[in-house]
């Protein structure tokens, strides 16, 4: 009887603990600024959908609480998330954020940032829809005016940021001289944190104005540090510039460096992905432990009920046996999942090695094919004629044009035959310009064939890319479009 009482006391303690009510958070009582901070944390962890849902809730609660500061911050952050796939929705949300601020102004810096974001989204929408940039320019000029007027109190950081926005808008409008002036001033005003972005815009404007040597100097002056994406952009643009001036050695070197940065980006993303899986697995294990604790509490309550109806010693032994069994199953499940994760990691590493070997084989094969194609083209009479007459006007007969087109079709998988079939509106003179472009000729050499200036050649290429081939991406050149056909 004494042993029964000793066993009964621990069961009473466990019953008291198990019957205590669980603490829960009432989400409805959270303030809008707390919901906004939770949304920020989720978005930093790439939980986009949950972050958007919390932002919508923060906007509703901020309106109910009459908290305009949290309201326009939530609207601006939501606009940033919508800008990845819904530019029109992002612009509308940014307008609402700006309207909220103007009704309840509290910080001049935030006003400038809101104007700059609205200008950016308006320019993106105008570029995608090929419509007017008037709204974007209006907001951008207003932001720049306020930034210049407030430069003494807020510094030159916002001046550089608004100038960069104006440069992007003028570049999208193909007003390259204006874009170049704004970009040059933005670089002069830029702080160390904004200098890299301002230099990228400045170099792109220089390329658009055909100042290739200056653009190359700007790209080489950029200090990317640990920013692998920026380093890849710099090296790829250096490769493009080298190709435009027919410097094969420099282009090959820049392309190799660009691929090296791309591989670093790939392995960095893979490492982050592995960390994400490990974090998710750890969270799942914690959730599993929580479920087991809840299940153990229910079993404990059932055992206590059984204890009240039967002998205390027998009930205690049964409960102990069940708890041990649950622990064994849990340890077995954890070990099995750990083994599956390790096996999946080993398989991924094996697949990566196989993919790397395949990429190396493909690269060697492509290099061999490119060499043979170049050898065949160099033996063509037309190419020889171009190589010996680079500084004066060059004329070709219809037979010579037909010869070089047949040669390119023979070594290039009938690329221009498909071009004729897929684009019946393509004029003969446009097709010949595509042939010269495919031969990797510089704009100066092409200008000698047509007796026109380099800028006129660039304009013709841009017109063919946009109006005939229907390629509207500003970062894609005519050479890249022809490569994809």
pLDDT of residue 64: 92
pLDDT of residue 304: 82
pLDDT over 70 (residue 375): no
Categorize the per-residue pLDDT at 412 as very low, low, confident or very high, splitting at 50, 70 and 90.
confident
pLDDT of residue 385: 67
Residue 408 and residue 416 in contact, taking contact as beta carbons nearer than 8 Å: yes
pLDDT over 70 (residue 370): no
The more confidently predicted of residues 182 and 266 is: 182
Categorize the per-residue pLDDT at 403 as very low, low, confident or very high, splitting at 50, 70 and 90.
confident
**Average model confidence (pLDDT) for the chain?**
78
* Residue-level length of the chain: 485
pLDDT of residue 272: 53
pLDDT of residue 264: 53
Percent of the chain at pLDDT > 70 equals 78
pLDDT of residue 431: 86
pLDDT of residue 74: 92
Categorize the per-residue pLDDT at 360 as very low, low, confident or very high, splitting at 50, 70 and 90.
confident
The predicted-structure confidence for 30-63, as pLDDT tens digits, reads as follows 788 999 999 888 888 877 888 889 999 999 999 9
pLDDT over 60 (residue 254): no
**Among the ranges given (138-142, 149-153, 171-175, 352-356), the one the predictor scored with the smallest mean pLDDT:** 149-153
Taking the C-alpha atoms of residue 183 and residue 177, their distance in angstroms, rounded to an integer, is 10
Burial degree of 249 (CB within 10 A; 0-12, 13-18, 19+): exposed
What separation, in Å, do the N-terminal and C-terminal C-alpha atoms of the chain show?
Answer: 91
pLDDT of residue 1: 41
pLDDT of residue 59: 93
3-state secondary structure the chain: CHHHHHHHHHHHHHHHHHCCCCCCCCHHHCCHHHHHHHHHHHHHCCCHHHHHHHHHHHHHHHHHHCCHHHHHHHHHHHHHHHCCCCHHHHHHHHHHHHHHHHHCCCCHHHHHHHHHHHHHHHHHHHHHHCCCCHHHHHHHHHHHHHHHHCHHHHCCHHHHHHHHHHHHHHHHCCCHHHHHHHHHHHHHHCCHHHHHHHHHHHHHHHHHCCCHHHHHHHHHHCCCCCCHHHHHHHHHHHHHHHHHCCCHHHHHHHHHHHHHHHHHHHHHHHHHHHHHHHHHHHHHHHHHHHHHHHHHHHHHHHHHHHHHHCCHHHHHHHHHHHHHHHHHHHHHHHHHHHHHHHHHHHHHHHHHHHHHHHHHHHHHHHHHHHHHHHHHHHCCHHHHHHHHCCCCCCCCCHHHHHHHHHHHHHHCCCHHHHHHHHCCCCCHHHHHHHHHHHCCCCHHHHHHHHCCCHHHHHHHHHHHHHHHCCCCCCCCCHHHHHHHC
pLDDT of residue 244: 76
pLDDT of residue 390: 56
pLDDT of residue 344: 86
pLDDT of residue 188: 87
pLDDT over 60 (residue 256): no
pLDDT over 50 (residue 25): no
Count CB atoms within 10 A of the CB of residue 458: 17
Q: Is the dihedral of CA 425, 427, 432, 437 positive or negative?
A: negative
Categorize the per-residue pLDDT at 377 as very low, low, confident or very high, splitting at 50, 70 and 90.
low
Residue 316 and residue 7 in contact, taking contact as beta carbons nearer than 8 Å: yes
pLDDT of residue 368: 47
Percent of the chain at pLDDT > 90 equals 9
The more confidently predicted of residues 29 and 437 is: 437
Taking the C-alpha atoms of residue 313 and residue 72, their distance in angstroms, rounded to an integer, is 65
Q: Sketch the domain layout of the chain as residue ranges.
A: 27-225, 381-484
pLDDT of residue 10: 44
* Mean pLDDT for the stretch of residues 79-107: 88
pLDDT of residue 148: 86
* Mean pLDDT for the stretch of residues 90-114: 88
pLDDT of residue 70: 92
pLDDT of residue 473: 82
Phi and psi (nearest 5°) for 28? -65, -20
* Mean pLDDT for the stretch of residues 308-313: 84
pLDDT of residue 170: 87
pLDDT over 80 (residue 389): no
* Mean pLDDT for the stretch of residues 255-279: 53
| CATH class for the region spanning 27-225 | mainly alpha
Residues 6+ apart with CB under 8 A from 176: 170, 205, 208, 209
Residues 6+ apart with CB under 8 A from 463: none
pLDDT of residue 371: 52
Exposure string of 110-123, with b = 16+ CB inside 10 Å and e = fewer, is bbbbbbbbbbbbbb
The predicted-structure confidence for 11-23, as pLDDT tens digits, reads as follows 444 334 343 434 3
């Amino acid at each position: 009887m004494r042993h029964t009482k000793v066993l009964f006391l621990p069961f009473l303690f466990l019953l008291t603990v198990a019957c205590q009510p669980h603490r829960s958070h009432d989400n409805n009582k959270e303030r809008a600024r707390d919901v906004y901070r939770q949304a920020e944390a989720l978005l930093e962890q790439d939980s986009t959908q949950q972050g958007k849902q919390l932002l919508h809730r923060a906007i509703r609660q901020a309106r109910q609480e009459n908290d305009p500061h949290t309201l326009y911050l939530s609207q601006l952050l939501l606009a940033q998330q919508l800008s990845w796939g819904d530019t029109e929705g992002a612009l509308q949300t940014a307008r609402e954020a700006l309207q909220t601020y103007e009704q309840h102004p509290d910080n001049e810096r935030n006003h400038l940032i809101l104007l700059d974001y609205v200008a950016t989204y308006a320019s993106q929408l105008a570029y995608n829809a090929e419509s007017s940039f008037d709204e974007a320019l209006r907001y951008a000029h207003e932001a720049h005016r306020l930034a210049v007027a407030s430069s003494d109190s807020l510094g030159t950081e916002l001046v550089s940021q608004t100038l960069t926005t104006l440069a992007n808008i003028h570049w999208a409008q193909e007003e390259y001289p204006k874009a170049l002036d704004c970009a040059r001033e933005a670089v002069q005003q830029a702080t160390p944190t904004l200098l890299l972005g301002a230099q990228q815009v400045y170099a792109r404007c220089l390329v658009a104005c055909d100042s290739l040597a200056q653009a190359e100097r700007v790209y080489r002056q950029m200090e990317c540090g640990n920013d692998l994406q920026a380093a890849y952009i710099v090296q790829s643009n250096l490769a493009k510039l080298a190709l435009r001036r027919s410097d094969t050695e420099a282009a090959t070197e820049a392309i190799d460096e660009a691929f090296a940065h791309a591989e670093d980006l790939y392995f960095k993303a893979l490492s982050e992905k592995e960390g994400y899986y490990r974090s998710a697995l750890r969270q799942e294990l914690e959730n599993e432990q929580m479920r087991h604790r809840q299940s153990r509490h229910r079993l404990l309550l059932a055992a206590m009920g059984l204890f009240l109806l039967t002998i205390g010693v027998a009930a205690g032994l049964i409960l102990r046996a069940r708890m041990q069994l649950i622990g064994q199953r849990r340890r077995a499940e954890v070990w099995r999942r750990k083994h599956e994760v390790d096996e999946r990691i080993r398989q991924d590493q094996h697949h990566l090695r196989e993919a790397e070997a395949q990429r190396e084989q493909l690269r060697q094969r492509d290099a061999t094919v490119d060499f043979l194609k170049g050898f065949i083209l160099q033996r063509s009479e037309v190419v020889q004629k171009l190589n010996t007459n680079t500084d004066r006007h060059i004329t070709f007969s219809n037979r010579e044009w037909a010869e070089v087109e047949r040669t390119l079709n023979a070594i290039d998988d009938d690329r221009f035959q498909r071009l004729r079939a897929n684009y019946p509106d393509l004029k003969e003179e446009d097709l010949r310009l595509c042939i010269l472009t495919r031969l990797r000729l510089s704009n100066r050499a092409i200008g000698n064939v047509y007796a026109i200036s380099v800028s006129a050649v660039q304009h013709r290429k841009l017109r063919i890319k946009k109006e005939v081939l229907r390629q509207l991406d500003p970062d894609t050149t005519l050479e890249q479009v022809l490569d994809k056909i």
